[in-house]
């Protein structure tokens, strides 16, 4: 039997739409899917003579497949929305304003603590900590023994730590 699209549409469109609605599809989407069902049927007929023993079953199968495809797309869209929310929930790597203020206060305390140190102790500490020099290199530059250099650096660390703990 050769399919006559107009006759099939008039006979089965309401039935297809109702079946889609029973499956939980909204009225708007059911109407869209029904139209798409008959467009697919028309497209299949245009590509080849479409003979089918049970055109009603073919129409319902096309509609069911379109509904399943739509549900998959909706699930993927929902998953994408959730992924966007998850990305937004990830904390920002930048420090918060509170952290910036606290860090600046701590830096001011460290600067004041270093200013309190004797010149040679401060110089040894800065060479070690900021200049990334070894104890041996610092000792040689300052004309001190490595033991004395280590003691100066240790005193500076202890002094800075004590000042930070006082302010906290």
Inter-axis angle of helices 146-167 and 119-129, to 10 degrees?
90
* CA distance readout (Å), 12 to 5, 6, 102: 10, 10, 72
Considering the domain delimited by 97-167, tell me its CATH architecture.
Answer: Orthogonal Bundle (1.10)
Write the DSSP string, 115-140. HHS-HHHHHHHHHHHTS---HHHHHH
- Cα 99 from Cα 65, distance rounded (Å): 55
| Domain residue extents for the chain | 5-89, 97-167
Q: Are 145 and 139 in contact (CB under 8 A)?
A: yes
Phi-psi domain of 9 (left: phi exceeds 0; alpha: psi -120 through 50; beta: other): alpha
The conformation of residue 143, written as its DSSP 8-state character, comes to T
Q: Which residue has the tokens 């096309």?
A: 62
111 is written with which tokens? Answer: 């600067």
Gyration radius of the chain's alpha carbons: 39
Q: Furthest-apart CA pair in the chain: how many Å?
A: 107
Residue 161 has a pLDDT of 93
Among 72, 74, 63, residue whose Cα is nearest residue 19? 63
Global pTM? 0.45
Q: Are 60 and 16 in contact (CB under 8 A)?
A: yes
Q: In tens digits, what is the pLDDT along the chain, a chain of 168 residues?
A: 455 778 888 889 999 999 999 988 899 999 999 999 988 888 776 555 456 677 888 889 999 999 999 988 888 877 766 666 666 666 667 888 899 999 999 999 999 999 999 999 999 999 998 888 999 999 999 999 999 999 999 999 999 999 999 876
């Amino acid at each position: 039997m050769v399919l006559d699209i107009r006759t099939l549409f008039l006979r089965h469109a309401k039935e297809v739409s109702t079946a889609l609605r029973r499956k939980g599809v909204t009225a708007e989407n059911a109407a869209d899917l029904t139209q798409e069902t008959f467009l697919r049927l028309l497209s299949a007929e245009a590509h080849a003579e479409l003979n089918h023993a049970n055109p009603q079953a073919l129409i319902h199968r096309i509609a069911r497949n379109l509904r399943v495809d739509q549900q998959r797309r909706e699930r993927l869209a929902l998953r994408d929305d959730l992924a966007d929310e998850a990305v937004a929930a990830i904390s920002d790597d930048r420090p918060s304003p509170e952290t910036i203020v606290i860090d600046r206060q701590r830096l001011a305390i460290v600067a004041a603590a270093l200013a309190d140190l004797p010149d040679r102790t401060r110089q040894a500490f800065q060479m070690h900590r900021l200049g990334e020099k070894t104890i041996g290199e610092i000792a040689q530059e300052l004309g001190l023994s490595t033991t004395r250099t280590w003691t100066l650096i240790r005193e500076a660390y202890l002094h800075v730590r004590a000042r930070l703990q006082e302010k906290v």
